[in-house]
Amino acid sequence: MSSLGQISPEMLLRAYAAGIFPMAETKESRELLWFDPEERGIFPLDAFHVPRSLRKKIRKGLFDVRCDSAFTEVVNNCAKTTANRQETWINGEIFDLVGQLHQLGVAHSVECWKDGKLVGGLYGIALGGAFFGESMFSVATDASKVALVHLVARLRMGGYTLLDAQFITEHLQRFGAIAIPRRDYHQMLADAMQVQGQFEAAPDSGKLTGALEDLFRQSSSQTS
């Protein structure tokens, strides 16, 4: 547990590299709680599954997908309470810390835009060959799902080896997320820290399309 003002961005990155991540009990909380769960949720990047209906939606290009063009706005939306989310773990300190990490080029957002409005997205932290997915939001059907698929395509393109989902939900399992023992996670994380992934916020469109199609072919070989 830590109090406000005691954590620096560098300390936060060391914690992530060691397999530990912070959450606040509530948005108003003035303390952070640190977690290293016995079972960790991850997305195996070589077994990520994109449902058939979502593949069709992405190919239609219903959303304009961007990276890092509205990072603060994405985090703000992730921190909002909704009818389906009565409480949030993103307090003021976490908001400030991830903002600083974004300024350092370590924290990134993937955003879905529709008619010039931000309608969904996610954010996370890239370190070595690992990407730590933090939170997502959506105010348009499937927007956060499309952002997740684009994130995975970019990570595969950039040589990342680990996508950390923290905790498993039924929603994430639909995309191939699994829970692994803490010991196995720590080994995967240690291996990922030996890799230097490259997060391209604006890759060549042909390169990105190719990465998405590779992901779709992988998914089509799995059970839809």
Interior angle at CA 13, CA 12 and CA 14, nearest 5: 90
User: For 16-69, how does the pLDDT look when each residue is reduced to its tens digit (9 = 90+)?
Assistant: 999 999 999 888 888 899 999 999 999 999 999 999 999 999 999 999 999 999
Q: What is the pLDDT of residue 16?
A: 98
Q: How far apart are CA 208 and CA 59, in angstroms?
A: 12
Residue written as token pair 């680990």: 162
Answer whether residue 85 shows pLDDT above 70.
no
Provide the token pair at 74. Answer: 């994405």
Q: How confident is the model at residue 86 (pLDDT cuts 50, 70, 90)?
A: low
Give residue 10's pLDDT band: very low, low, confident or very high (50, 70, 90): very high
Mean pLDDT estimate for the chain: 93
The answer to whether the beta carbons of residues 75 and 99 sit under 8 Å apart is yes
Q: What is the pLDDT of residue 26?
A: 86
Tokens of 136: 């997502």
- Amino acid 102 reads H
Of 40-49, 108-117, 165-174, give the lowest mean pLDDT range: 165-174
Mean pLDDT of the region 193-208: 92
Q: Which of 166, 178, 169 is nearest to 45 (CA)?
A: 178
pLDDT class of 109 with cuts at 50, 70, 90: very high
Q: Where residue 140 falls among pLDDT bands split at 50, 70, 90? A: very high
Q: In what order do the strands lie in the sheet with 2-3?
A: 2-3, 31-35, 21-24
> Which band of pLDDT confidence, cut at 50, 70 and 90, is reported for residue 3?
very low
What is the number of other CB atoms lying within 10 angstroms of the CB of residue 58? 20
Biggest CA-to-CA distance, the chain: 49
Q: Which pTM value belongs to this model? A: 0.93
List of domains in the chain: 2-220 (3.40.630.70)
**In 3D, which of 224, 208, 217 has the Cα closest to residue 157?**
208
Q: What is residue 45's predicted lDDT score, i.e. its pLDDT?
A: 96
**Three-state SS across 24-37?**
ECCCCCCEEEEECC
d(CA 57, CA 173): 20
166 φ/ψ sector (left φ>0, alpha ψ -120 to 50, else beta): left
